[in-house]
Amino acid sequence: MPDELSVIGKALPRPGALPIVNGTAVYVRDLKMPGMLRTHILRSPHAHANIKSIDTTAAEQYPGVAAVLTYKNLPSEWPAGYGSGNHIRILNEKVRFVGDPVAVVAAETQAQAEAAIALIKVEYEELPAVFTIEDALRPGAPVLHEAYPSNTLPEAPYEYGDVDAAFAQPDVVTVEATSSFIAEIPSVGYIEDCGTIAWWEDDRVIVIRTTQNSPTTLSKIAQFTGLPVTKMRVMSPRFVGGSSNIKENALKDLEFAVTLSKLAGRPVGVFLSKEESFLQYHKERMSISYKFGLKPDGTLVAVDGAASGEGAAYNYTASANAAATHLCYVAYFPNLRFSQLNSVFTNNPPGGGCRGYIYQEAEWTAMHALQQAMETIDIDPYEFYMKNTLKLGTLYYYNKWLTCDCDPITIAAAKAATAFDWKDKWQGWQKPSSVAGHKVRGVGIGWGGNGCGNFTSYTATVALSNNGTVSITPSEDEFGNGNRTNPWRQAAEVLKIPLDSVKGPPADTDAQPFYAWQTACGTFSIGRAIKRAAEDVRRQLLEMAAPTLGVKAEELDTKDRIVYVKANPTQTLTWSQIIPSQTSIVGTGTNIAEQGRFPEIICAFAEVEIDTETGDYELVNAVLATDVGQIVSPQDCEQQMIWSLVMDGTREAYVQDKATGRVLNPNYLDCKSRTFADLPNFESIITETPVVDAPYGAKSLAECIGVPLTPAITMAIYNATGKLMDLPIGPDKILAALGKA
């Protein structure tokens, strides 16, 4: 019988979080380095233009100005280390979207930096611009990057099984569908805007940044400076705002702070405004065509597809690949072929990883299209998804053939269907679930996930000291989800000590033995390494105590910093009696990545109410469900589920001037996000079916949460109105669908 768990799965306050409630939590913007210069960025007013001339003389002479950076004075020894193929530099002679940085001033005060920016004279040669995937792919379209004359970055085709043979079976129904995510472009909209403080110590650059992954920041610096990683250090400010949002990629606060601090020889802080954050980064648009093959009973047989994803101006992390790889989380096709996968350059603000790396976009697009297949054979979507989802024992393909060794969803989904009352509410395709005067309700389901389960390799150490300290390295950046301290629970559980007695330094790449990309897989990848390190140090401790206690190490156990003989718990030694004075014993543990294993799948049931007079709609009921194997931190688990409401892509959208490409609403006021006032009745159902080979049976739960609610709402609106709509969905589209606009 397993030991009773005392830390894992218990509702405990997060260690080290007191500063969040008493106002002493320090985020990047709260820090001031002595002598730190402030900055302001000059941005392009054109979507596509060559810089014919740029005159910074007046700006350089302006009081307080320490340095003006343009493409002309980038350190010449630095390589092209930017863009999808590291084919351009951090500032270039060409601008590719409205808001693309042109020059940056570092000055004593913010006001001086802003004033000096106004003195820079730039002459642009405007070029024709393209704002849609279709326009960018047209023959003769303006070319954004000379290195990519067709405006595409082709990706490797993705295929498994035998698609042609599958379609040739006699009873296969074929449905062709084209689906596009997304008419407009929502931003991440994180609460804390990006910022970087950088300074140089001799030939080594030190950076403090709003990052959720310091080691990734390190590799970015290495890319654009060409310096070895030993010449840089990235430190966490300890608190990073805006849970689970990617702050890594496009905003250039990092690049400018590093470069300007080198030019000026002083610390430089680059802090972006909300508008700048909104303007520079957004979700990827996708355009995908599918041919689905399925049996009349709804069993999926094959899919043949082609996908384009919009990497926009620079394409940092955008890709079309998820259109193929992530279908297995929506519904599993035993035969699949995507012979064409492209990311496409356009003159929109850069697109890429944002609320997860393209999962939401790719999976929404798939569900939007699959819905048409479901309706063709008239199957209940709940039945359809339950039939085709990955289950314990399913042989599936994710870059290689794998056997699903957990039940990611079916138990949880069945509970959710009951909680939501799906059977009663589902009336059939294009049928409202209820009508009361001008209030019409519809219901829908979304289903998806990702394979972050064991995404990265990781090595951790756990040290026990004579003075009783338990210290874990390395530490992760904490950006809200408990990423830093939830894996510590594994060590506290192994050593049977209170969670709040475990310590770790703030994230610091000087203390990271490896530079792993670990985002969104903390529970599993990091947790397993830490658990193994704790087991290793526990073993050493018991072996050291055994001779004194006169028994074998296996006959010993430890709890609350005391080692005792299991058969005679009064026979004890304290840790400080075992560990020699002024020393520590150190355990190490390593996890090796197994990408695609331990899939995370989550489903959402949504009920919306539409006002047929105003076109307004409201999410009234939402139930989300998943299986996590074992809950590690109940509050964090629950809150991550609720995060789906924030990630809902049906509401927020940029409004873009179609002629110039300018984003017209780069702020919270005009780009509506859900606040307290818009909360539905919400239930999250988290089941625990322990996963063999996972640390304490626990799987990760993170980015997949962003996936299912948006398609569930889209389907619900479809059933209420009878019209399939692109995102975002506002009263205008609903009234048009109802024939009232």
Partner 1 sequence: MTKKTKGKEGQLSRREFLRDAGLVVGGATAVAMPLLAACDSPTTATTTATATTTVTVTTAPITTVTTIPTTTVTVTAPPTVDPPATASAISTIELTVNGLKRLVQIEPHQTLADMLRDTLGLTGTKVGCDRGACGACTVLVNGKPVLACMMLAIEAGETSVTTIEGLAVKGELSPLQQAVYDHTGYQCGFCTPGLIMEATALLAEKPQPTMEEMKAAFGGHICRCGAYYSFMESVTLAGGK
Contact pick of 75, 85, 123, 469 for partner 1 (by CB under 8 A): 123
> Does 448 interact with ligand FES (rule: CB under 6 A)?
no
- How far apart (Å, rounded) are the C-alpha atoms in residues 221 and 215? 10
- Strands (DSSP E) contained in 628-708 are 681-687
* Cβ 579 vs Cβ 563: under 8 Å: no
- How far apart (Å, rounded) are the C-alpha atoms in residues 225 and 77? 8
> Does 238 interact with partner 1 (rule: CB under 8 A)?
no
Residue among 536 and 636 whose Cβ is closer to ligand FES: 636
Q: How far is the CB of 486 from ligand FES (least distance, A)?
A: 16
Q: How far is the CB of 381 from ligand FES (least distance, A)?
A: 33
> Does 121 interact with partner 1 (rule: CB under 8 A)?
yes
Q: How far from chain centre, in Å, is Cα 403?
A: 25
Name the nearest CA neighbour of 96 among 68, 124, 56.
Answer: 124
* Cβ 365 vs Cβ 286: under 8 Å: yes
Given partner 1, ligand FES, none, residue 366, with its beta carbon under 5 to 8 Å by kind, binds none
Instruction: Quote the tokens at residue 653.
Output: 């959208």
Q: Which residues contact 531 (CB under 8 A, 6 or more apart)?
A: 490, 491, 493, 494, 589, 695, 696
Binders in 423-482 for partner 1, by CB under 8 A: 478-481
> Does 274 interact with partner 1 (rule: CB under 8 A)?
yes
- How many Cα atoms occupy the beta-carbon half-sphere of 526 within 13 Å? 27
> Does 642 interact with partner 1 (rule: CB under 8 A)?
yes
Q: How far is the CB of 603 from partner 1 (least distance, A)?
A: 18
Contact pick of 645, 716, 729, 735 for partner 1 (by CB under 8 A): 645
Given ligand FES, partner 1, none, residue 168, with its beta carbon under 5 to 8 Å by kind, binds none
Piece of 13-21, 156-164, 385-393, 729-737 that binds partner 1 (CB under 8 A): 13-21
Residue among 70 and 689 whose Cβ is closer to partner 1: 70
Q: How far is the CB of 477 from partner 1 (least distance, A)?
A: 11
Q: At residue 534, what is the residue type?
A: A
Q: Which residues contact 31 (CB under 8 A, 6 or more apart)?
A: 197, 208, 237
C-alpha distances (whole Å) from 270 to each of 107, 164, 223, 273 are 11, 54, 19, 10
Given ligand FES, partner 1, none, residue 25, with its beta carbon under 5 to 8 Å by kind, binds partner 1
Residue among 113 and 563 whose Cβ is closer to partner 1: 113
Given ligand FES, partner 1, none, residue 334, with its beta carbon under 5 to 8 Å by kind, binds none
- How far apart (Å, rounded) are the C-alpha atoms in residues 207 and 217? 9
Q: How far is the CB of 488 from ligand FES (least distance, A)?
A: 20
Q: How far is the CB of 380 from partner 1 (least distance, A)?
A: 30
Binding mask of the shown chain, residues 161 to 190, with x at each position contacting partner 1 by CB under 8 A: ----------------------------xx
Residue among 11 and 165 whose Cβ is closer to ligand FES: 11
Given partner 1, ligand FES, none, residue 284, with its beta carbon under 5 to 8 Å by kind, binds none
Q: Which residues contact 39 (CB under 8 A, 6 or more apart)?
A: 104, 105, 106, 107, 113, 256, 257, 260, 268, 269, 270, 271
Q: Tell me the pairing of strands 395-397 and 401-403.
A: antiparallel
523: left (phi over 0), alpha (psi -120 to 50) or beta: alpha
Residue among 277 and 558 whose Cβ is closer to ligand FES: 277
Q: How far is the CB of 353 from ligand FES (least distance, A)?
A: 19
Q: At residue 537, what is the residue type?
A: V
* Cβ 611 vs Cβ 721: under 8 Å: no
Piece of 116-124, 164-172, 345-353, 693-701 that binds partner 1 (CB under 8 A): 116-124
Q: Tell me the pairing of strands 335-344 and 568-574.
A: unpaired
Residue among 136 and 702 whose Cβ is closer to ligand FES: 702
Given partner 1, ligand FES, none, residue 10, with its beta carbon under 5 to 8 Å by kind, binds none
Size of interface with ligand FES, in residues (CB under 6 A) = 4
DSSP 8-state assignment for residue 717: H
Binders in 677-696 for partner 1, by CB under 8 A: 677, 679, 682
Binders in 240-259 for ligand FES, by CB under 6 A: 241, 243
Instruction: Quote the tokens at residue 399.
Output: 């870059």
> Does 191 interact with ligand FES (rule: CB under 6 A)?
yes
C-alpha distances (whole Å) from 621 to each of 311, 385, 531, 624, 645 are 35, 20, 39, 10, 11
Q: What DSSP string runs through 445-497?
A: EEEEEE--TT---EEEEEEEETTS-EEEES----SSSSTTTTTHHHHHHHHT-
Given partner 1, ligand FES, none, residue 230, with its beta carbon under 5 to 8 Å by kind, binds none
Residue among 410 and 626 whose Cβ is closer to partner 1: 626
Binders in 20-59 for partner 1, by CB under 8 A: 20-27, 29-30, 40-43, 45
- How far apart (Å, rounded) are the C-alpha atoms in residues 56 and 73? 11
- How far apart (Å, rounded) are the C-alpha atoms in residues 408 and 626? 7
> Does 732 interact with partner 1 (rule: CB under 8 A)?
no
> Does 567 interact with partner 1 (rule: CB under 8 A)?
no
- How far apart (Å, rounded) are the C-alpha atoms in residues 15 and 472? 13
Q: How far is the CB of 735 from partner 1 (least distance, A)?
A: 25
428: left (phi over 0), alpha (psi -120 to 50) or beta: left
What are the b/e assignments for 260-293, b being 16+ CB within 10 Å?
bbbbbebbbbbbbebebbbbbbbbbbbbbbbbbb
Residue among 191 and 592 whose Cβ is closer to partner 1: 191
Q: How far is the CB of 509 from partner 1 (least distance, A)?
A: 21
Piece of 68-76, 142-150, 234-242, 417-425 that binds partner 1 (CB under 8 A): 234-242
> Does 664 interact with ligand FES (rule: CB under 6 A)?
no
Q: How far is the CB of 17 from ligand FES (least distance, A)?
A: 11
Phi (first) and psi of residue 602, to 5 degrees = -140, 145
Q: How far is the CB of 519 from partner 1 (least distance, A)?
A: 14
- How far apart (Å, rounded) are the C-alpha atoms in residues 737 and 510? 57
DSSP H helices, 474-560, are 488-495, 527-549
Binding mask of the shown chain, residues 222 to 241, with x at each position contacting ligand FES by CB under 6 A: -------------------x
Q: How far is the CB of 123 from partner 1 (least distance, A)?
A: 5
Where is 578: in which H helix or E strand?
helix 575-578
* Cβ 234 vs Cβ 211: under 8 Å: yes
Q: How far is the CB of 192 from ligand FES (least distance, A)?
A: 8
Residue among 214 and 225 whose Cβ is closer to partner 1: 214
Binders in 362-381 for partner 1, by CB under 8 A: none
Piece of 67-75, 272-280, 311-319, 421-429 that binds partner 1 (CB under 8 A): 272-280
Q: How far is the CB of 639 from ligand FES (least distance, A)?
A: 9
> Does 72 interact with partner 1 (rule: CB under 8 A)?
no
Binders in 616-635 for partner 1, by CB under 8 A: 633, 635
Contact pick of 353, 408, 446, 480 for ligand FES (by CB under 6 A): 480
Q: How far is the CB of 59 from ligand FES (least distance, A)?
A: 29
* Cβ 358 vs Cβ 649: under 8 Å: no
624: left (phi over 0), alpha (psi -120 to 50) or beta: beta
Binders in 84-113 for partner 1, by CB under 8 A: 99, 108-109, 111-112
DSSP H helices, 351-409, are 359-376, 381-388
Q: How far is the CB of 43 from partner 1 (least distance, A)?
A: 6
The residues that touch ligand FES, with contacts defined as CB under 6 A, are: 191, 241, 243, 480
